Amino acid sequence: GQSLEQPSEVTAVEGAIVQINCTYQTSGFYGLSWYQQHDGGAPTFLSYNALDGLEETGRFSSFLSRSDSYGYLLLQELQMKDSASYFCALGAGGFKTIFGAGTRLFVKA
Amino acid sequence: NAGVTQTPKFQVLKTGQSMTLQCAQDMNHNSMYWYRQDPGMGLRLIYYSASEGTTDKGEVPNGYNVSRLNKREFSLRLESAAPSQTSVYFCASREGQGSTDTQYFGPGTRLTVL
């Protein structure tokens, strides 16, 4: 089957850079996505990697290494509003997506 | 353009009661999904519908049924609610047919089963 592992919590200071890692196991790879979820809110799409390398979208970047079954989300110029949970999600083939348990990011002033 | 809408927002049930969670999307998306999210956990797929007229089981389908009423609407039914079904339920839709295409989520239904 498929599984993902990510840290449960990360704390960083406003203005800093933080990296949230995600390792995965899968028999067939269809891409790795990242979603953000604020407390009480719905998940919203951030970024997607199908191929190795870095994808940049404003302050957010996502990296993938398929040979290492590893990816990360990089958040730059952290703001207080970035305090949220971040989920990596694995394309599981067909129409299914498997989500990790999430990393809760605390941004301190 | 409301995106994905869900009703109700909150619901309290007693064990054994039944209810239907409603979901609708106005983005003309083909595939729709039902997830549950338990405290401190990620989203787990309950059922999905790749297109109008088709439904398939996800990771945790037991105790649930679904109906894809038309392209817009996808409902989730709990026939006999159990405390283990206390959770937040999210509906999502996706335009493409790839498992990595962006999913758009509704605001969620917070369900408590006593």
Q: How many cross-chain Cβ pairs, A to B, lie less than 8 Å apart?
A: 67
- What's chain B's average pLDDT? 93
Residue B33's pLDDT is 95
Give me the residues paired with residue A33 across strands. Answer: A48, A89
Provide the CB-side half-sphere exposure for B41 (13 A, CA).
Answer: 12
Best A33, A95, A96, A103 residue to mutate vs chain B (most B CBs within 10 Å): A95
Residue A95's pLDDT is 76
Residue A28's pLDDT band (cuts 50, 70, 90): confident
Contact B99 A97 (CB under 8 A): yes
Q: Which residues of B touch A8 (CB under 8 A)?
A: 40
For the segment A66-86, what is each residue's pLDDT rounded down to a tens digit?
999 999 999 999 999 999 999
Strands (E), A15-83: 18-25, 32-37, 44-49, 53-57, 60-65, 70-75
Give the pLDDT mean for B77-88.
97
Q: Which residues of B touch A98 (CB under 8 A)?
A: 45, 59
Higher pLDDT, B40 or A49: A49
Residue B64 scores a pLDDT above 80: yes
Q: Is B26 on the interface with A (CB under 8 A)?
A: no
Residue B41's pLDDT band (cuts 50, 70, 90): confident
Q: DSSP assignment, residue A101?
A: -
- What's chain A's average pLDDT? 93
Contact B48 A100 (CB under 8 A): no
